[in-house]
Structure 1
């Protein structure tokens, strides 16, 4: 996900990509009579997965990629009439890279649907291309509010947006810590600033005063922010951003003498946060997320079955958005199982789906937003980030 400034510079490029995608879409339709897989209806449907799979923040994209793989593998193992081929597109979270990959997916690979993109910045660039080509997409993790306001017909996501997360995080901050002064930091990326802004509005509405600061996404020296935070003397510090940046910032905050609770969002729900912060510095660190990581199935019995299968395949417990990756793939699988193998028919099915997923109910509103709005909070403990509870009622000791 790039900064807002970068996104603005990319707008001309995106506009051109949309026009080009229309030509590519028409070409794909024209070829449909010669290639039974190009528009579905044959013995195979091709789906794509797009996200940062090798970049700095790949730790929060590999789990949903794994979840999607597992769902497709389990489906194909039933020997269905129509099998699914899943192709991966490593965007490294970069909008300009994602744009080219989307064109490749449509023109060369003739995908019938896309799981992703994973981040909000790349989603802003790719969604109009997919919409123009009439290719349905379901993101497991893109949370920027404006994505749901673009009136894209073929776009969906299986997570609540940043406004919902911001409200949940601010409620947790105000209720659990009785915070009257909050210091809010972000690194000016599309996702980061959006979430930070909603947290700011949320805690202010609950009576807290807010001081803010912006750090460089690629920076390594945050001493200026540390000094500002110490001077502000907040009850809680919130950071909107990804774990690579959060880890560097939190480490320097702790080493600089800032001992208040540190709260961040879903982009930091990864072991890399604790590694970057340092185990000795990671006390009183909390992460909000519109995702449910429930390996023991306390909230949903399906979650334990999923975790057991996930662990058997990947030798790891479920992690951030692994369940959402599985659910996003499941939405497509259910459409295909019902006999829908063209992009248009798959998309029509998605507008009516209403089933229980492993992370949450899979049901979309008319604008592609997920109907479920729960936000959860995780606490750093013993070098891990176990579930603390729903932001509505989670308490701290």
Structure 2
């Protein structure tokens, strides 16, 4: 999940007629580790399609927003007016998605995010917006039930970063564990800060059985390091924003070991869930010299939705959008199919355990034990 894994593929669509699909997200910022994999997954799918020498080839053009809405909005406008994109994979994060979607709606450009999970995104009535991944209501309920069922936690401390992603995810986890009888306490951190001593002291005083953090791995690693240095030994859990080896790098492997990361995404290089997962993993590794990581399969599936539209003869943005409402094909992470709201028709939550620099799959949150 390092920047060096970005190679292989590129933006050349080859000769002949073609269309341009964009990919937008944080490709060089501190949380790029969870955006480069879906970009690579999308590139793999498009390169495979172009290799069949179709009548209409697809160019994947990347837009590095660094996850910031103020950068994403002008990039989206340029993508529409100057690059003539007919679709966008992304934006990757929820905050930038909230700001970019109105621009895409006005331009009548369909989008499929592989990773933006904020629940409210699906409640805006947008006609051109879709996502391939389950939302934070699904994720928060899944990890909350795992905390009370598998960990048997009676006291849960929830921390979030006040973002459009982290706060509602933390709130859903808190509501879920409370509904299962757990006692909770909540605190927020400033993701731009570096000293989380006040939060650490609150956690120590509460003496929880488990801690859940809603936010991204860059800050999560710093927080976890300070919790452990402060003598807090409770099991640390987080959501998809922390599903990256950067969490252990920031916290120190010994501090991070045993942490549980939940995600409505599938990383299954061994093919435990399906043969398609192993086939995808083998192709991904061969192309990028790296194992598939967070949202790489979802990036592949998001691109697949657009590829199926083009294969069916749709080359304008509005025709592609109309096709997305009826696409129904097998993907790597799930069946690629959307509800009228743009939400995926199917979604599972999976849990992973930090073991050194690796994040092996434990299983579905509803079934897994540790």
TM class, shorter-length: over 0.9
2:208 counterpart of 1:234: yes
Alignment of 1:358-369 (within 5 A): 358-369=332-343
Q: Are 2:65 and 1:91 equivalent residues in the alignment?
A: yes
Q: What's the TM-score once normalised by structure 2's chain length?
A: 0.95
Residue 283 of structure 1, CA deviation:
2.5
Report the structure, 1 or 2, having the larger helix content: 1
SS in 1 for 2:174: helix
DSSP-derived class of the 2:23 partner: strand
User: Of 270, 276, 298, which residue of structure 1 is paired with 2:250?
Assistant: 276
Cα deviation code 1:182-241 (max 9, x no counterpart): 100011111010100110111111111110111111111111111110100111000000
Of 199, 207, 212, the match for 2:173:
199
Distance 1:334 1:120 in 2: 25
Q: Pairwise mapping of residues 80-159 of structure 1 onto structure 2 (< 5 A)?
A: 80-159=54-133
SS of 1:114's equivalent? strand
Q: Does 1:312 align with 2:322?
A: no
The answer on whether the counterparts of 2:266 and 2:350 sit within 8 Å (CA) in structure 1 is yes
Distance 1:250 1:149 in 2: 33
May I ask how many residue pairs the two structures share in their alignment? 355
User: How far has the Cα of 1:379 moved from its partner?
Assistant: 0.4
8 A Cα contact 1:52 1:58, kept in partner: yes
Q: Distance in 1 between matches of 2:191 and 2:231?
A: 22
Deviation at 1:300, TM superposition (A): 1.7
Query: Which aligned pairs between 1:371-390 and structure 2 lie closer than 5 A?
Result: 371-390=345-364
Looking at structure 1, the residues matched to 69 and 142 of structure 2 have their Cα atoms a distance apart, in angstroms, of: 28
The answer (yes or no) to whether the contact 2:248–2:356 under 8 Å persists in 1 is no
Name the CA distance, whole Å, in 2 between partners of 1:284 and 1:259.
11
After superposition, the C-alpha distances for 1:303-333 in whole angstroms (9 at most, x for unaligned) are: 1111111111110000000000000001000
Equivalences for 1:199-278 in 2 at 5 Å? 199-278=173-252
State the partner residue of 1:63: 37
Indicate the structure (1 or 2) with the bigger Cα radius of gyration: 1
On the 8 A contact 1:260/1:284 being kept in 2, the answer is no
Q: Give the CA deviation at 1:383.
A: 2.5
SS at match of 1:47: strand
| Secondary structure at 1:383 match in 2 | coil
* Deviations 1:7-61, CA, capped at 9 Å, x for gaps: xxxxxxxxxxxxxxxxxxxxxxxxxxxxxxxxxxx92111000000001100000
Q: Give the Cα separation in 2 of the matches to 1:301 and 1:253.
A: 40
Distance apart, 1:382 and its partner CA: 3.4
The answer for the alignment partner of 2:262 in structure 1 is: 288
Q: Distance in 1 between matches of 2:367 and 2:276?
A: 23
The SS at the match of 2:55 is: coil
Instruction: Quote the Cα distance in structure 2 between the aligned partners of 1:114 and 1:341.
Output: 13
| TM-score (structure 1 length as normaliser) | 0.88
Aligned equivalents of 2:184 and 2:17: distance in 1? Answer: 57
Distance in 2 separating the partners of 1:171 and 1:151: 30
**Alpha-carbon offset, residue 373 of structure 1:** 2.2
Alignment match, 2:308: 334
What stretches of structure 1 of length at least 5 have no aligned partner? 1-41
Asked if the contact 2:257/2:356 (under 8 Å) is kept, the reply is: no
What is the Cα-based RMSD across aligned positions, in Å? 0.8
Question: Could you list the runs of 5+ residues in structure 2 that have no partner in the other structure?
Answer: 1-15
